[in-house]
Structure 1
């Protein structure tokens, strides 16, 4: 109902329309800010360096040169992802959200003891170290220690695929506990 003096809509209608317009603008802005950018998959992945005294070893060079450019994680193909500089040495990552990360040349994991539970996958012995939402699997029967960190949702595909690569490129060695 127009204002009898000016013919304009009542103030309550104007205030309501303005409030709805502001609420819509805020909702659109929040949605845009919370969605991953279209190129987030191509953004380099920042990783924290960890001690890797044998990262420059010939065994790590051989292994990293042979890793697949694509892994199957939970039935989906995940591709190698660029690492942000400074990138940790002897490290490869796959995937966008919850990436898989392989590091080579690490120190012996302290969890590796004579009574540790190991899993044999395609001829490679792995030690699982569970974490919060992810596990790190250490290759423990080769010249160098390598670790694959995978989200709990990844399934066994990446471990199987990388076991094939490790078995093909690095000869097995007896376990070392010290």
Structure 2
């Protein structure tokens, strides 16, 4: 009798967990608008930023997880888009040249786009450095390479390569 009761309780608990998981809103559905601190982006209104932001995907894949575009809290920084909830991926366009970009800086080529990685605490910011505008993609350390590859594809498709500028 005790074994039957224990089995029935286990089944009831499993059903309750399944019903809860299926009926609760997903994190992307319940996410509040993301507040972002504004950063200087004097070229955010440039045609290059308009073109790039119009070409970025509405969904990114990071370590097999789908990250959907996230609403930004008002006032939203110009030329900015974010994906995901807990640790969002954030793209900002129209920034000044990153001071870390020097003739000896180590760059990475991802899908025909040159990036400068600037590590931070818990995330890295990757700067597009070979196009008409500087854009920065901040990616949590826990993310895979999917966001960087997808944004590289959009950059390569819409913005022509330019010589590097060190001043």
TM-score by length of 2: 0.83
Residue ranges of structure 2 left out of the alignment (5+ in a row): 1-23
Q: How many Å apart are 1:74 and its aligned residue?
A: 1.5
RMSD: 1.3
Q: Mean alpha-carbon deviation: is it higher for 41-50 or for 79-88?
A: 41-50
Q: How many Å apart are 1:146 and its aligned residue?
A: 0.1
Query: Within the alignment, does 1:170 sit opposite 2:159 as a pair?
Result: yes
Residue ranges of structure 1 left out of the alignment (5+ in a row): 1-36
* Matched residue SS, 1:61: helix
* Matched residue SS, 2:99: coil
Distance 2:63 2:88 in 1: 12
* Matched residue SS, 1:103: strand
* Correspondence for 1:127: 116
Distance 1:163 1:173 in 2: 15
Query: Within the alignment, does 1:61 sit opposite 2:50 as a pair?
Result: yes
Mapping of residues 101-112 of structure 1, within 5 Å: 101-112=90-101
Shift in CA distance, 156/40, structure 1 to aligned 2, threshold 3 Å: closer
2:39 to 45, 50, 69: 50
Distance 2:25 2:157 in 1: 37
* Matched residue SS, 1:167: helix
* Correspondence for 2:131: 142
* Matched residue SS, 1:136: strand
Q: How many Å apart are 1:38 and its aligned residue?
A: 5.0
TM-score by length of 1: 0.78
Distance 1:40 1:48 in 2: 22
Distance 1:156 1:131 in 2: 17
Distance 1:72 1:147 in 2: 18
